[in-house]
Amino acid sequence: MVNREKVTSRFIDMVKISSPSLKEREIGDYLLKTLKELGLEVYEDNAGKENGGNCGNIVGILRAPNKKKVLFSSHMDTVLPCEKITPIIENEIVKTDGTSVLGGDDKGGIAAILEMLRVIKENNLEHPEIIVVFSIAEEIGLRGARAFEIEKYSPDFAYILDSSGKPGEAIVQAPHSAKGEIKIIGKPAHAGINPEDGINAFTVAAHAVSKLRLGRIDKETTSNIGIVKGGEAVNIVMPEISMMYEARSFDGEKLDNLLKETNDIFEEIAKEFGAQLINNVKKGYAGFKLDENLEIISHLKKACENINLKCELKSSGGGSDANVYNAKGYTAINLAVGMSKVHTTEEYIKIDDLVEMSKLTLEIAKELAKC
């Protein structure tokens, strides 16, 4: 019942709409209109106002009294560059002209959810109570999910469509995270006349960074400095340097220990040079690990079996809205949609995967209708 042409056309229409984080208004309006046309109760929450954006989370409800409640969710925002996206279909693959991302992350997930709803409504299929959430600002810290009042809807299960990989793959473990700015404040001086009167913030940072554990720490833990900014002029001893740091681990205690170790190193070196340390690294989203015997996974496995998809349970080093919902006490699993090379101008998605993900989303709904 999933229509290949319709789901592809819908996906193409949506990726053409620019939707950087906190500027999702146009795609939000498109989805409000589409969900209303499909006959859902539709709402927009205050997540946009709370986060300084121009659009809130878009929420749709397809009622089914006395049935299980299931939440399906994907995010509306895409990473840059996404100002003008020109999708191209070549050899049954949707890609870009190379000047932008595609936006399959996460409009591939949205397309699958909308196709599932279309099939259910047009064929009058039995279904659970379906809560659809299209979230904002996922790419800049899961902000839409954080602001979404999931307790108002109390879903029994939550399926987040937002992972790379083949349909049938599911993320059942994701890491704890921390990120933020580490700043070293030194002292300016003329680099050619009296450099000894200054404190070079770059030198302090270099000594500290040489002692840090960065990259792959172990099979559960990573650490990275991704952005460095500093300096005023080539003839001035660098008075200040800013570094954006992040760390992730499947083990919360390991993450805490790594953050303390990192801070201690910077403190020691800053003190040695007479510089000041300002560490604004904060814990972010909480990690999760789901028991493979949970009901939500049993339903996923059965749905995959029904349509001859291989079900694979995996861990991921990335976070998603599933992290937020699990932390709030609502069991959520992140499903692979099929997008590849995300966050690059080489991003693409196979039409076959769009179709398979739509079929799987529909099959999950059909399975939960039996509960």
Catalytic residues: 77, 138
Q: Are strands 69-75 and 129-135 parallel, antiparallel or unpaired?
A: parallel
Q: Provide, for the chain, the percentages of residues in helix, strand and coil under a 3-state DSSP scheme, each rounded to the nearest 5.
A: 35, 30, 35
Order the strands of the 93-96 sheet from edge to edge.
87-90, 93-96, 348-350
Distance CA 288, CA 270 (A): 35
Task: Tell me the two tokens of residue 150.
Answer: 């999931």
- Name the burial class of residue 121, with classes exposed (0-12), middle (13-18) and buried (19+) by CB atoms within 10 angstroms of its CB: middle
Classify the C-alpha dihedral 340-346-350-354 as positive or negative: positive
How far from 341 is each of 101, 345, 349, CA to CA, in Å? 9, 8, 9
Single-letter amino acid, residue 330:
Y
CB 363 within 8 A of CB 307: yes
Phi and psi torsions of 78, nearest 5°: -130, 160
Residue 132: strand pairing partners? 60, 72
Q: For tokens 């790379």, name the residue.
A: 164
Q: How many CA atoms lie within 13 A of 294 on its CB side?
A: 16
